Amino acid sequence: MSVQRGAAASAGAAGALFPMDKMIIRGGVPLRGSVALSGSKNACLPIMMASVLTDEPLVIRDVPRLRDVRTAMELLTGLGVAARWTGDHEVELNARHLHSHDAPYELVKTMRASFVALGPLLARCGRARVSTPGGCAIGARPVNLHIAGIRALGARIQLRNGYVEAHAATLTGARIWLDNPSVGATENIMMAAVRARGITVIENAAREPEVQDLARLLRAMGAQIEGAGTHVIEIEGVERLHGAEHSVIPDRIEAGSLMVAAVITGGDLVIKGAPLDQLDAVIAKLIETGAEITVANGDLRVARNRPLMPVELRTLPYPGFPTDLQAQMMALLTQAAGTSVITETIFENRFMHAQELLRMGADIVMKGPTAIVRGPAHLTGAPVMATDLRASMSLILAGLAADNTTEVSRVYHLDRGYEALDQKLRAVGAQIERAPE
């Protein structure tokens, strides 16, 4: 039941910001052509929060035009950061006149990534008040590791009225072991530690490329960081960080989603600028399903000319198979001839797309963290409802493979993380339209 409440709550907030649109898809068209990726949402959001760490401007390029980016701009503006678009995909952030250290519930609840404002605010202001994110459609998603890490750096932390209140006249480097390699906790601690006194070592750190991209930006701002991309990150605090320019890495999750679109439709797509080295697990799994994947001139070409084969799949921290592509793979595996087994190890409750896929004719049985998908199922178009960002993409993909017309409502979830998806898919032949609900 908590799942339902979470979804309804975010619907209210999003409705005010974005129109209540739906996507109408007529399936059965193999996608052909080439498609370009946007900048990574998950890299961009913490990078934007890093602007708080300096009183000099940060210029960020390859910023995707997404609802989450808009939420981040709103959050930063509320803190006193001068935030403006200086190009189609370029943002300038200047925190010279920072006047608040308060990240309100209204924004944090719509975008959990706002919680990583805690580290940089504390480092810059000596105090921070950041709402806890609350429930979430894909599980409990606690912030205990963020808090334990920041506390280890010497901050006094209280939980009051749903807010984390942190104080520290000075932060002091420490050795921090993360119980699990949380992406957000690693980023939050990293941003607090860059201005702490002495050396911080984060052990069992997240290795995700987005953590590496944040470290790259922080280094460009003058931070001393080593080991990002490994399990041990070492940070030597500096007194002051300065302005910098940075280009965000391409979105590997968007890349993976488009790869699945090529495979599920039996199409042939060239994905321009795909971050090949970050997609090993995804490429390997798709090849197992029968996809043909080649690299030409640095671009990734994904095609399929034969029946799909079932696979076993387990989501894992990077460099394992990403949980953010699990829902999309489930849509794909409904079309494989045989039984596939998907195990979700990162988030509990991340199978909500399965209920909607069942309504389209999929054969999926869920047992705890495991989903058993039997195929090939004959998918038929239906009105379906998106429950979270990646679930929305899963339903769009199912729609691309289904007979007749599929209508995916609550598209504002999709707008959080996929830039101009309908336009990109139309350009490679998909019959997809956006319409008011």
**Which residue of 27, 184, 256, 310 would you call a contact of ligand UD1, by CB under 6 A?**
184
Token pair of 77, please?
């503006």
- The answer to whether 182 contacts ligand UD1 (rule: CB under 6 A) is yes
Q: How many other C-beta atoms are found inside a 10 Å radius of the C-beta of residue 262?
A: 29
Smallest gap from residue 394 Cβ to ligand UD1 (A):
14
- The answer to whether 347 contacts ligand UD1 (rule: CB under 6 A) is yes
Residue pair 380/358 in contact by the 8 Å Cβ criterion:
no
**Which residue of 79, 122, 143, 379 would you call a contact of ligand UD1, by CB under 6 A?**
143
- The answer to whether 323 contacts ligand UD1 (rule: CB under 6 A) is yes
Given the complex with ligand UD1, which of 118 and 264 has the nearer CB atom? 118
- The answer to whether 42 contacts ligand UD1 (rule: CB under 6 A) is yes
**Which residue of 49, 52, 79, 113 would you call a contact of ligand UD1, by CB under 6 A?**
113
Pairing verdict, β 102-103 and 127-131: parallel
Distances (CA, A) of 430 to 88, 269, 399: 25, 12, 10
- The answer to whether 344 contacts ligand UD1 (rule: CB under 6 A) is no
- The answer to whether 141 contacts ligand UD1 (rule: CB under 6 A) is yes
**Which residue of 34, 180, 230, 404 would you call a contact of ligand UD1, by CB under 6 A?**
180
Residue pair 365/320 in contact by the 8 Å Cβ criterion:
no
Characterize 90-117 residue by residue with b for buried, 16 or more Cβ atoms within 10 angstroms of its Cβ, and e for exposed: ebbbbbeebeebbbbbebbbbbbbbbbb
**Which residue of 50, 58, 171, 183 would you call a contact of ligand UD1, by CB under 6 A?**
183
Ramachandran bin of 404, using left for φ above 0, alpha for ψ from -120 to 50, beta for the remaining angles: left
Residue pair 63/83 in contact by the 8 Å Cβ criterion:
no
Q: What whole-number distance in Å separates Cα of residue 63 and Cα of residue 43?
A: 10
Interface pattern 273-302 for ligand UD1 (x via CB under 6 A): ------------------------------
Characterize 265-296 residue by residue with b for buried, 16 or more Cβ atoms within 10 angstroms of its Cβ, and e for exposed: bbbbbbbebbbbebbebbbebbeebbbebeee
272 forms beta bridges with: 36
Site size toward ligand UD1, by CB under 6 A: 21
Given the complex with ligand UD1, which of 185 and 332 has the nearer CB atom? 185
Smallest gap from residue 346 Cβ to ligand UD1 (A):
5
**Which residue of 112, 124, 252, 285 would you call a contact of ligand UD1, by CB under 6 A?**
112
Given the complex with ligand UD1, which of 109 and 301 has the nearer CB atom? 109
Smallest gap from residue 322 Cβ to ligand UD1 (A):
6
Residue, CB closest to ligand UD1 = 184
Active-site residue among 35, 136, 300, 421? 136
DSSP annotation of 434: E
Interface pattern 231-260 for ligand UD1 (x via CB under 6 A): ------------------------------
Name the segment binding ligand UD1 (CB under 6 A); options: 183-191, 220-228, 242-250, 287-295: 183-191
Residue 117's contacts (CB-CB under 8 Å, 6 or more residues apart) are 49, 52, 75, 79, 103, 128, 130
Q: What whole-number distance in Å separates Cα of residue 437 and Cα of residue 432?
A: 15
Given the complex with ligand UD1, which of 183 and 330 has the nearer CB atom? 183
Residues 193-232 that bind ligand UD1 (CB under 6 A): 206, 210
**Sheet of 127-131, strands arranged across:** 102-103, 127-131, 163-167, 156-160
Given the complex with ligand UD1, which of 72 and 428 has the nearer CB atom? 72
DSSP annotation of 278: G
Q: Is 136 tagged catalytic?
A: yes
* Contact residues: ligand UD1, CB under 6 A: 42, 45, 112-113, 141-146, 180, 182-185, 206, 210, 323-324, 346-347
Enzyme catalytic residues: 136
